[in-house]
Amino acid sequence: MEGDIANMGQFLGAGLAGVGTGLAALGVGNVAGNYLAGALRNPSAAASQTATLFIGLAFAEALGIFSFLIALLLMFAV
C-alpha cells in the first residue's frame, strides 16, 4: 500500500461530495416534474413560465455544481 492517511481523506471526501451531485439531481427532477405537471393541467399558461422554470433549474443545479467543485478542490487544490 502507498500513500498516507491524508490522501485517503482526500479521496473519501471527494467521493462523499459526489453524493451532493445526486441530491441536486433530485432537486432538478423535482423542479422539472412539477413544471410538467402544472403545464399539462394548464397548457396555455406553460409558455409564459419557461423563464421561471430555467431560473429554478439553475438554482437547484448550482448546489450540485458546488459539491462537484468541492470534489475538485479536494483532489487538486488541497
Partner 1 sequence: MATETAYDGAEETGGLVFHPLDQFIVKPLFGDGPVHWYTPTNVTLWLAIAVLCIAALFIWGTRSRSTIPGRGQSIAELMYGFTHKMVEDITGKEGLKYFPYIMTLFMFILFANYLGLIPMSFSTTSHIAATAVLGFGVFFAVTILGFVLNGPSFLKLFWMSEAPLFLRPIIAVIEIISYFVRPVSHSVRLAGNITAGHAVIKVFAAFAALAAVSPLSVLAITAIYGLEILVCGIQAYVFTILTCVYLKDALHPAH
Q: Which residues in this chain contact partner 1 in the complex, by CB under 8 A? A: 51, 54-55, 57-58, 61-62, 65-66, 68-69, 72, 76-77
Q: How far is the CB of 1 from partner 1 (least distance, A)?
A: 15
Measured CA to CA, the distance from residue 8 to residue 43 in angstroms comes to 52
Q: How far is the CB of 38 from partner 1 (least distance, A)?
A: 19
- Phi/psi for 26 (5° steps) reads -60, -45
Q: Whose Cβ is closer to partner 1: residue 37's or residue 76's?
A: 76
Closest CA to 17 of 55, 60, 52, 69: 69
Tell me how far apart the 2 most distant CA atoms of the chain are, in Å: 63
Q: How far is the CB of 28 from partner 1 (least distance, A)?
A: 12
